[in-house]
Chains A and B, each alone.
Chain A
Amino acid sequence: MDQLLINSGFPILSVLIFLPLAGAFILLFIKSESLCRYLALAVTSIVGILSLLLVTGFDKTTDKFQFAEHQSWIEAFNINYTIGVDGISILLILLTTIIMPFCVLASWSYIKTRIQSFMICLLIMETAMIGVFVALDFVLFYILWEAMLIPMYMLIGIWGGPRKIYASIKFFLYTLAGSILLLVGIIWLYVANDYSFFIPDMMWQAYPLEAQIYLFLAFFLAFAIKVPMFPFHTWLPAAHVEAPTAGSVILASILLKMGTYGFLRFALPITPEATVVLMPYVLWLSIAGIIYGGFTALAQSDMKKLIAYSSVGHMGFVTLGIFVLNVQGLEGAILQMVNHGITTGALFLCVGMIYERTHSRELRSATGVGKYMPVYITFLAFFSLSSFGFPGTNSFVGEFMILAGVFEFGTANGGFPYLALAAIPGAVLAAAYMLRMLQKIVWGGTDNPDQSWITDLNTREIVILAPFLFFVFWIGLGPQPFLDLIHTSVTQLLQQFDAHKLQAVAAAGSILH
């Protein structure tokens, strides 16, 4: 186990995990509402700043798990508290820690009732989310993965919109039902691996192909629902539409990434042969998601729903990038996970700001605000451009890399790149629905409602959006520092994978024929 872990001494990851939890505990005893807000902001900001230590201390030349900690937890069953970071998870942790303070800020005036409980839920969410990305013990992972449902359920169910009950229950049941068989898979792996829950131990083992296929299906059900991949996406629009702004941002920016992270961390290394066998189906489902998400987004009149369906399309690109299994595809997918987190998170924040003014998410009631909210529409325009991958913005880099990966995958054996051709319309659709939304919000038509009373963004709101814009252009114009962080882990993953691929192709031949 030790050769896989690098310990740096100071338990920075545990601090990141438990600081929000401690903050939540302190909040229990604070009655003053404004103090609650400031304390939550302080805690999330400190966590965000501390997490930068991960970047400075991260060794880009190794694929081992860094900042690792190991503590025995339930000895009788060999369950441990093992955590660590590698190139695949580091960007997602940073995304989480950096977005959280802005979620608190976005709820500053949006949430009017029961501030204390709201902030407690947010902080518990942060603990669980960071924990999921750093967990190296499968039980620890599963506990945090499931425990996350409770605060998220509360966020939607208590502070949500008119159909919050329906949306929160659908969200809860869908995600829970999906991950139940994952639990059985985990226990199976535990027994197969000499009673160990240590995730790196489970990787690259020669499990029988049949078992791998069942395992992959268990993984797939859990992760595909979380992503969400077509046709498991139906909980997403409901949850997004009803959740408060901060809830939507967390859902879009971080929770959805857990599904794709799960594919990268578990499905690929633990069931490589099954991945090769089932890859075509996943790829075409991704294409279906891209096209379906695009067309449905085109037809929405509710802004949040529009962005929610666009997420289905964007996440389709990510899964596409993962399952073409080459360097461009995988790196593009990880980068695109971060990009989607930034861009879609920012778009949800923008919608939330309109909603705070007009109390409606309908496109119709927000038309033609451009004249009165120049600052707002400047932000909105950039984020919309980023959303459909305009050159110079972050998503362009990600989508370009993914599509390059898909082309390479298609032409690798002298074939024709059907997949890439099928994915291109998705990119066009994205431009269509985003520009349609932008056009309506900025200019509208001749029958705009009277928007003259509307006020432009205040300083707090500009402070919230500005960092997102900064990252949009940073990743868009100079993505190299980000790619450097993930490069070693990705190439290592693919090397290991290719070693298994040959066996897999042979095995797949025997199964399919």
Chain B
Amino acid sequence: MLFLPELTLLGAGLILFIFSLGKPSSGKIKNVAIALAALTLVASLICIKSEGELFYSAYQVDLFSQIFKVLIALATLIILIFSDSEGDIKLAVRSEYYLFLFMSVLGLMMLVSSVELISIFVALELSSFAVYVMVPMRNNATASGSQFEAGIKYLLFGVMATGLMLFGMSYMYGLTGSTQLPVIADKLSLMYSQPAAVIAIVLVLAGFFYKLAIFPLHFWVPDVYEGASNETTAFIAAVPKLAAVALLIRLITLVSSEGEVIVNVLMVCALLSMFYGNLSALIQKDVKRLLGFSGISHAGFVLVGLLTFKVTGYATAMYYIMGYVFMNLACFLVICSVAEKGKNVVVEDFTGLHKRAPLLAITLTVGLFALAGIPPFVGFTGKFLLLLGALKQGHLILVILAAINTGIAIFYYLSIVRVSFCTDSEDRGAVASSALNNTLAVMLIVTIIVMGVMPSKFIAITSSAIHTIM
């Protein structure tokens, strides 16, 4: 029962493996994948209340991990639904693509439950390597080679980050003599001011900074976002970030709040991520690249919550990443629908979208305004609560600079809204969107607004989840 979602994913992997032996039609295999993802979601919903330990307490099942598993399954399902069945993955490897997708999801689900260094490492690698393979599976016709570049970049930076993390883990083990996070937490709290301990923690965090795309481990983002197919990018932009935040919260609870050095390191990373992401996004033409840079700045915002070292800070960071996933998915839903045959979308492709597909235009607008942090959407509430928590801890300069960043960011989000609402369609055709897609779009809009207007429930849930791991 504790392991049900992961078992479902394993079974799904097996089924897809069997399909990959034959030559199924692309529509059929997509439907199979959607059904399996729905099954995973159901499984993780069933297990949401379960608690316990597995594998000699290397694997912790608690409310915290189960919420993240539900979110991961939900996001995967949404991506599968809106991804193009005629999509942008080589026909020959379509079923392998879904196989790797599910393996990656499995890795991420294991990651959020892991509380032991070795199992963290194994789960992280399982999720990463699957994605390394998914990136270059894009059709050569639409990407003309850039998918290979993206794959290699993703792999090289990933391996580097893993190396840093392993190095840090070895320090951690050396200092504490254990690989169990709870034991490490106890022992580290006695020596957090020592340079060795700080280095160990920062290096371990680096592995997740890479997943979350935080400066200075963000260099893969723009090229991978651009080179990978639209649905792969949607996956990379949303799902691994959930798991990365989960693990960052687990790891940061190891550090006591007096860890002045760590706070400063995190603060610098957060600010640099925001400024780098927002300033670079200003000049982007490719929408996926733009969202990539915006993702870097949002990762910076998540750090603002973590560096408060308070339960409310963690809870708002968790709330924020939940909201971020939905806002991002809303944008990618539109990108996938507008993209012709899976080509990359530039800002001009949204020209006159309000006439060609009114619902999609509204979805895009809601998603972008939410990302920009305009009320009453979840992006605003999240940012506001994060800044509130940070100012409570006295980080006035950080809050002012972060606030200024939201001002910078609005410009590039607005430039997309402008193109889709304030221009005529010229001679671009209507955008086809299935009924299922439209329903999904409406649901995403409603989620973004409801989470933004009534955050109490969500904050209460995330707070109680955080309490289970403290």
Contacts and interface: CB of A to CB of B under 8 A. Distances in A.
Given A165-B418, A181-B403, A150 B374 contact: yes
B407 A76 contact: no
B391 A191 contact: yes
A169 B384 contact: no
Contact of B376 (A147, A184, A187, A190): A147
Interface in B309-330: 312, 315
A76 B403 contact: no
B414 A184 contact: no
B315, B375, B387, B459 — which one has the most chain A CB atoms within 10 A of its CB? B375
Contacts of A181: 400, 403
A139 B455 CA distance: 13
B463 interface: yes
A155 to B, nearest CB: 11
Interface string A141-176: 011101101100110011000001100110011001
Contact of B374 (A74, A147, A158): A147
B422 A168 contact: yes
B369 interface: yes
Interface in B401-434: 403-404, 406-407, 410-411, 414-415, 417-418, 421-423
B396, B406, B422 — which one has the most chain A CB atoms within 10 A of its CB? B422
Contacts of B220: none
A76 B459 contact: yes
A187 B354 contact: no
B375 A158 contact: no
A150 B369 contact: yes
B399 interface: yes
B414 A191 contact: no
A144, A147, A164 — which one has the most chain B CB atoms within 10 A of its CB? A147
B357 to A, nearest CB: 14
B374 A188 contact: no
Interface in A119-148: 139, 142-144, 146-147
B339 to A, nearest CB: 24
B161 to A, nearest CB: 33
A173 B354 contact: no
Interface residues of A, number: 33
Given A74-B455, A165-B418, A180 B404 contact: yes
A460 to B, nearest CB: 29
B410 A74 contact: no
Contact of A173 (B315, B387, B410): B410
A176 B380 contact: no
A177 interface: yes
A146 B375 contact: yes
B456 interface: yes
Contact of B411 (A173, A180, A184, A191): A173
B309 to A, nearest CB: 17
Interface in B340-398: 354, 369, 374-376, 380, 384-385, 387-388, 391-392, 396
Contact of A180 (B403, B456, B463): B403
B222 to A, nearest CB: 25
A184 B387 contact: yes
B460 interface: yes
Contact of B410 (A73, A158, A172): A172
Nearest to B391: A187
A150 B387 CA distance: 23
Contacts of A46: none
Interface string A83-97: 000000000000000
Contact of B456 (A76, A146, A147, A173): A76
A111 B207 CA distance: 55
A168 B418 contact: yes
Contacts of A281: none
A169 B380 contact: no
A76 B463 contact: yes
A173 B415 CA distance: 11
B363 to A, nearest CB: 14
A154 B391 contact: no
Interface in B38-74: none
B456 A177 contact: no
A353 interface: no
Contact of B406 (A139, A158, A180, A187): A180
A147 B384 contact: no
A153 B463 CA distance: 36
Given A169-B418, A184-B399, A176 B459 contact: no
Given A181-B400, A183-B403, A149 B387 contact: no
Contact of B400 (A150, A172, A184, A191): A184
A149 B374 CA distance: 9
A75 B460 CA distance: 9
A470 interface: no
Contacts of A158: 354, 421-422
Contacts of A76: 312, 315, 456, 459-460, 463
A157 B400 contact: no
28 contacts: A74-B459, A75-B456, A76-B459, A77-B385, A77-B388, A139-B384, A142-B375, A143-B380, A144-B375, A146-B374, A147-B376, A154-B421, A157-B421, A157-B422, A164-B422, A168-B418, A172-B410, A176-B374, A180-B403, A183-B387, A183-B403, A184-B396, A184-B399, A187-B387, A187-B391, A188-B391, A188-B396, A190-B388
Given A173-B414, A176-B407, A180-B404, 5 more contacts: A77-B385, A165-B418, A181-B400, A181-B403, A184-B391
Nearest first, the 6 closest Cβ-Cβ pairs linking A and B are: A143-B375, A157-B422, A187-B391, A147-B375, A177-B407, A180-B407
Interface of B: 312, 315, 354, 369, 374-376, 380, 384-385, 387-388, 391-392, 396, 399-400, 403-404, 406-407, 410-411, 414-415, 417-418, 421-423, 455-456, 459-460, 463
